[in-house]
A and B are shown apart, each in its own frame.
Chain A
Amino acid sequence: DAGVIQSPRHEVTEMGQEVTLRCKPISGHNSLFWYRQTMMRGLELLIYFNNNVPIDDSGMPEDRFSAKMPNASFSTLKIQPSEPRDSAVYFCASSPEASKGAIQYFGAGTRLSVL
């Protein structure tokens, strides 16, 4: 398996623009997580999907952020409009199950820079 695939790897955009980050989880995994990593706040869970349904979006910073999972093999995280403070590395992770000791497998991340 190719692992969790994220695109793009790097994104540079200007403040106010819409940004869409994409994630393809590992086939057969039914849990998907979006994280944000910054120097100041470390790794933060933004949203968690189980069987394509958003279960917990309490980590989404504000209404400018939205995430979808239209099917089991694809998810997007959208920021509209983007702001410089959104600059961070965004990770997608998938897991075969959400509970117990199931491992979360991470993608390589998308490094977002908002100018």
Chain B
Amino acid sequence: AQSVTQLDSQVPVFEEAPVELRCNYSSSVSVYLFWYVQYPNQGLQLLLKYLSGSTLVKGINGFEAEFNKSQTSFHLRKPSVHISDTAEYFCAVRKDSSYKLIFGSGTRLLVRP
């Protein structure tokens, strides 16, 4: 079965520091990869997605992610975080031709001043 692993449940970081949130997936077939962000008391909002083509994907709010097929990873990065980036981040994967999004358990990014 398909699965998504977000190893870090919480990542504390100081403002203006770089951050990487890790995501690994298990699948032997073509997949589509997504990162969603959830701010407190809100629904999930798409940050970025990888469908095909360039392995480096840029999203909103200065975030980017790199698809690494050999390592089955899709880590999310930002070179300099803001207090407002404090939120829960979810990695998700969907197999080609499937409607199901499989979500990871989420990583809480805590940005400190």
Interface residues in chain A, defined as those with a beta carbon under 8 Å from any beta carbon in chain B: 4, 31, 33, 42-43, 45, 48, 50, 55-56, 91, 93, 98-101, 103-109
Contacts and interface: CB of A to CB of B under 8 A. Distances in A.
Interface of B: 32, 34, 36, 41-46, 49, 51, 90, 94, 96-101, 103-106
Contacts of A109: 42-43
A1 to B, nearest CB: 14
Given A100-B32, A100-B51, A108 B42 contact: yes
Contacts of B51: 100-101
A99 B106 CA distance: 23
A42 B100 contact: no
A99 B97 contact: yes
Given A101-B51, A103-B46, A55 B90 contact: no
